[in-house]
Chain A
Amino acid sequence: MSSHPGSHEDMSEENLPSERSDAHDGAVAVAEDPFADPGLPPHQPRRQDIDERAARRSERAVAFMFTLSMVATLGFIAAYSLIPPSKIVYIFPFGHVSALNFSLGWSLGVALFCIGAGAVHWARTLMSDVEMPQERHPIEAEPEVKQKVLADFRQGASESQFGRRKLIRNTMFGALAMVPLAGVVLLRDLGPMPGTSLRHTAWRKGMQLINVNTNLPLRPEDVGVGSLTFAQPPGLNDNSDDYDDVIAKAALMIVRLKPEDIKDKREADWGHEGIVAFSKICTHVGCPISLYEQQTHHVLCPCHQSTFDLSDGGRVIFGPAGHALPQLRISVNDKGYLEALGDFTEPVGPSFWERG
C-alpha cells in the first residue's frame, strides 16, 4: 500500500522549491502597505520529499508499527486465554495488580496505539504536505433564492388555506396542545404521593434501641463517654426488602455526655443520664453523619462538612446544613434497656417544601 517508489519521486520533484515559486501569487505591492497579505509561503519540502532513502526509512517505520500492532493483538489473545482472572502480581511501580487486566490493557493499548502512530507517521512523512487553499462560500442564500423560497412558502400557505380557515387552525392548535397531556398523565404512576411519609420514621413508643453492629438491645452501661454508637429499631432485618427505606430515616446516633456538659435543657430532659440519641441522617442533603469529636461533642458529616454540636441540641455550628439534628426522646425500660419514648417529633433528613 505504501510502497510506490515511483510516485514518491514524482511527488518530490513537484515539491521542489523552484516548482512552487508561483505560490507567491497572492502577494501585492509591498511598498504601499507594509502589512499587506504576502500570500501563502512557498512549500518547504521535507527530507522524505527529496531523499528516497529517507522516504524508505519512513515506510519501514510505519510498517514496523503496524506489525507491532499485529503482534500486540496476538499477545492480547494469548493473555486472555492463558492468565486466570484471579492472578495478582507485583509490578513496580504499580504495586499489586491483576495480571490479566495489566496484560490485556497493555497489549490492547499497544495494538491500538501502533495503528494510530503508524497512520500519523505515514501522513506526516510520506503523504503530501502541500497546504492548499479552498474557497469559502457565504452561507446566506442569494437574494433570488430567498425570494423564491419565500414565494413558495406563501403559495404553499395559501393553498393550505391555513390562514383563511381559522376554525381549522384553532382546533388543530388545541388538539396538538392537549395530546401531550396523555403522556404527562402517564407519568403519575412513577411513584406514590409523598403524603406524610417523610414525617415519620419506624420509631415507636417502647421500642428498644438495637446496636447496629451487635444486633443486641443497648443498656445504658453499654454507652461509654466519648464513644459513638449506632442504633436501629428492633425487628429490622437487613435481608428484608424495605430495610434500606427504613434505615434511611431511622438510623440513630447515640452518645453519652457528662450531664453537666449538656447546654440545652430539653436535650438533657430527652436523654437518660447524659445519654442522648440523635438522627444520624444529616439535615443538609441526607448523608449519614459519622465523624465524632469526643472532646467537643461535635459531629461532622463527611459529605459536605456540616458540623453539629451534640452538647447543644444538635445545633448547626458550621457548614451548609439549615437546621439542628432531630433528637429522639429516650428512657430506660423496666428491664434496664434503652427505649424510645415515641417517634421523632420533627421530620429527619433534608428539608422539603412541606416540612414547615
Chain B
Amino acid sequence: MSTTNHATDDASAPRGKAPAGERLADWADGRLGVYSLAKANMRKIFPDHWSFMLGEICLYSFMIIIMTGVYLTLFFHPSMNEVTYSGPYVPLQGIRMSEAFNSTMNISFEVRGGLLIRQIHHWSAVVFIAGMFVHMMRVFFTGAFRKPREVNWMFGFLLFVLGMFTGFTGYSLPDDLLSGTGVRFMEGAILSVPIVGTYLSFFLFGGQFPGHDFVARFYTIHILLLPGIMAGLLVAHLILVFYHKHTQFPGPGRTEKNVVGMPLMPVYMAKAGGFFFLVFGVIAAVAAVASINPIWEFGPYRPDQVSTGAQPDWYMGMAEGLIRAMPGWEINFWGHTLQLGVFIPLVLFGVVLAVMALWPFIESWVTGDKSEHHLADRPRNAPTRTAFGAAWVAWYMVLLLGGGNDIAATHFHLSINAVTWFVRISFFVIPVLTFVATKRICMGLQRRDKDKVLHGRETGVIKRLPHGEFVEVHAPLDQGQMYTLTQHVQHQPFELGEEVDENGVRRKAGPVTKLRSKLSQGMYGEGSQIPKPTAEEHAEITSGHGHH
C-alpha cells in the first residue's frame, strides 16, 4: 500500500510541491481517512434558529466545567483528615476543619485566580443543568424527540440526571456546613430505603455518618465516574445529531426530506466556535462579580450545627420540595420501620423525571406513527403534548417552590405551614389546571391560524362602507406564510373499528388496544385539534361574495 502512495506522490511531484497544509492533510488522510470524513461533513448544512443554541450552551458549559475542574484538582485535597486553619481568612483561624475544607479555603484565598476558577466552575455547573433543562423543553415542545431521535432523547435525559448527581457530589466536596447538611439529608434518604437502606448507607459512608470516607469517595464519583460516563454520552449525543442532521422549523422550501441552512465551514464554525467564547466570557464575568458557594461564610461541617435557610443548588430544589411537602408518614410493623415520609419522595423523584423521559415512547405508541420526523412541530399544533409538557414544567416549578418554602415564607411574610400546604395541594392541582389552560390556549392559537389562512391578516386599516358600516381590511397572507401555517400533519384518532367484521366474526380488542384508542381520542379527537383549513374552504371564501 505504501508503495502505491509513493507512486502517486512521485507522479504529482513534477507539478511542484503542494502547500504545507495540503501535505499535512495528505499525511492525515493516509492514516485517518480525513478526506472522506470531511467530504460528508465540512459543508454539512445546519439550520438556524435561536433555540438551537440552547444545546450548544450545555456543550460549552460542560467543556468549561472540565477545564476548570482539572485546574481545581491540582489544588484540592479530597481528605477528611482534621487540620487547624492557619490561612489568611481571620474569622476561621484556629478552627478545626477537614483538609478538604482547608484546601478549598486555600484555593479561594491564596491561589491567585483560584477563587475565579472555583466560581467559574460552579456557575458553569448551574448554567449547564439549567441549559439542559431548557434544551430538553425545546426538544419536547417541538416534537424533536420523534423518530429517529428517541435514542438521542434518552441520551440527553441521562445527561440531565447524571448532571444533577455530578453537581451534588461536586458541591459536597468542600465539606462545609451547608453541603454537609445536604449530605446528611442524602444519608437520611438512603436510610429510608426498605430492607437494604441501612447497609447502603454504611457502605457508602464507610460506617456511621459522617465517617472519614465520603469526601474521597464523592471525589472519585465526581471527577471520574460520572463525568466519564457523561463524556461518553455527550459524544454519542453529538454523533447522533450529526448523523440524523438537525431538525428544522417548517417554512417555504423546508421539507421532511431536506435541511435548509448554512454550511458548517465557514459559517457554523465561526458562529458555534464564537458562541463557545461568548458563553465562557459571560460566565467568567459573572464569576468576577457574583459570589457562589462562599464556604468561608458557612464554615466547616459539624453534624450538630446547621445554618438557617439551608438551600441546595437549584437543580436539587425539586427533590428538596418533595421531601419538604411530604407528610411524615411512618409505619412500624413486625419490628421494622417504613419511613414513607422520606421513601415516597425518593421514589417520586425518579417518577417525576421518568414521566418526562418516557413521553416520546407513549406518544409513538398512541399514534402508531412509524415515519421519520425532521420538521419541528409548532407547539400549538400538538395541543395535548404541549399541555402535558406545560403541566410537567408547572409540577417541577411547584416542587422548586416547595424546596424554598422557608425562603418564600420569610420573604413574603407568610406562614411556613401555609406555604407547605399550598405546595401539597398544588402538587396535585396545578398540573391539571396548567394542562387544561395550555390545551385551550393551543386550540385558540390553532383557530387563529385557521382564521389567518382563510381570511388574511388584520391590517389595522378601517374602511367605512357606503351604508356606514366599518370593517377592518384583511390582507391575504403570502404563499410562504400560508404554507407554513398549513403544512403540519394532523393525526387522526385511532379507531377501534367494528366489534364484528363483515363475516360476522367477533374481533375482540384487548384492554391495551382499548387504552390506546382512548388515549388517541384524547390526543387527536375532536376536542383536541382544530381541523386545518382545506383548499376548498379557502377557494370558497376567496372567490365568494362575502369577501372583504
Contact = CB atoms under 8 A, between A and B. Distances in A.
Interface of A: 26-27, 30, 32-41, 80, 85-86, 94, 97-98, 100-106, 108-120, 122-124, 127-136, 138-139, 187, 190-194, 197-198, 212, 230, 232, 238-239, 241, 244-245, 247-249, 251, 280-281, 284-288, 290-291, 302-306, 316, 318-323, 349-356
Interface size class of B (residues with CB under 8 A): 35 or more
A344 to B, nearest CB: 15
B302 A123 contact: no
B329 interface: yes
Which interface residue of A104, A212, A303 has the most chain B CB atoms within 10 A?
A303
Interface in B210-251: 210-213, 243-245
A88 to B, nearest CB: 11
Contact of A303 (B185, B197, B209, B278): B185
A302 B260 contact: no
Given A112-B284, A133-B253, A280-B304, A322 B336 contact: no
Contacts of B487: 35, 37
B155 interface: no
Interface string B516-548: 000000000000000001010011001000000
A139 B372 contact: yes
A258 to B, nearest CB: 26
25 contacts: A26-B252, A35-B535, A38-B480, A98-B115, A102-B289, A105-B116, A110-B281, A115-B277, A119-B271, A119-B274, A120-B278, A129-B267, A190-B204, A241-B212, A247-B303, A284-B342, A286-B185, A287-B181, A287-B185, A288-B304, A303-B181, A318-B420, A353-B193, A354-B335, A356-B332
B192 A352 contact: yes
A134 B44 contact: yes
A157 to B, nearest CB: 25
A261 to B, nearest CB: 22
B203 interface: yes
Contacts of A106: 284-285, 288-289
Contacts of B119: 101, 105
Nearest to A280: B304
Interface of B: 44-45, 48, 82, 88, 96, 109-113, 115-116, 119-120, 148, 181, 184-185, 187-189, 191-199, 201-213, 243-245, 252-263, 266-267, 270-271, 273-285, 287-289, 301-310, 320, 323-330, 332, 335-342, 372, 374, 405-406, 416-417, 420, 453, 479-480, 482-483, 486-487, 533, 535, 538-539, 542
B281 A85 contact: no
Given A34-B538, A40-B252, A190-B206, A288 B113 contact: no
Contact of B262 (A132, A248, A352): A132
A97 B289 contact: yes
A262 to B, nearest CB: 23
Contacts of A304: 185, 320, 323-324
Contact of A306 (B192, B197, B328, B329): B328
Nearest to B47: A131
Nearest to A124: B271
Contacts of A349: 188
B274 A127 contact: no
B284 A34 contact: no
Contact of B281 (A38, A113, A281, A322): A113
A110 B281 CA distance: 6
Contacts of A113: 277-278, 280-282, 285
B364 to A, nearest CB: 15
A146 to B, nearest CB: 16
B202 A193 contact: yes
B280 A112 contact: yes
Contacts of B307: 302
A85 B208 contact: no
A287 B185 CA distance: 7
B306 A302 contact: yes
A151 B479 CA distance: 50
Nearest to B532: A35
A188 to B, nearest CB: 8
Which interface residue of A32, A110, A116, A129 has the most chain B CB atoms within 10 A?
A116
Contacts of B205: 191
Nearest to B217: A190
A27 B329 CA distance: 66
Contact of B275 (A116, A132, A241): A116
A120 B275 contact: yes
Contacts of B209: 245, 248, 286
Nearest to B265: A127
Nearest to A121: B274
Contacts of A320: 323-328, 341-342
B107 to A, nearest CB: 11
A92 to B, nearest CB: 12
Contacts of A241: 82, 212
Contact of B208 (A80, A138, A245): A245
Which interface residue of B270, B304, B405, B416 has the most chain A CB atoms within 10 A?
B304
Contacts of A105: 116, 119-120, 284-285, 287-289
A135 B260 CA distance: 9
Given A105-B285, A134-B44, A280-B304, A302 B112 contact: no
A-B pairs, top 9 by smallest CB distance, nearest first, are A105-B288, A285-B188, A113-B281, A119-B274, A322-B330, A116-B277, A40-B253, A109-B285, A116-B278
Contacts of A321: 328, 341
Contacts of B533: 35
Contacts of A124: 271
Nearest to A252: B304
B329 to A, nearest CB: 7
Contacts of B342: 284-285, 320, 322, 350-351
Contact of B308 (A230, A291, A350): A291
A26 B253 contact: yes
A30 to B, nearest CB: 6
A314 to B, nearest CB: 13
Contact of A136 (B208, B259, B270, B271): B259
Nearest to B337: A355
Contact of B277 (A119, A192, A198, A350): A119
Nearest to B183: A286
B483 A354 contact: no
Contacts of A138: 372
B192 A351 contact: yes
Contacts of B405: 305
Nearest to A240: B82
B482 A34 contact: yes
Given A241-B212, A245-B209, A323-B330, A350 B192 contact: yes
Contact of B417 (A40, A108, A316, A318): A318
B188 A286 contact: yes
B324 A85 contact: no
Nearest to B189: A285
Which interface residue of A104, A113, A352 has the most chain B CB atoms within 10 A?
A352
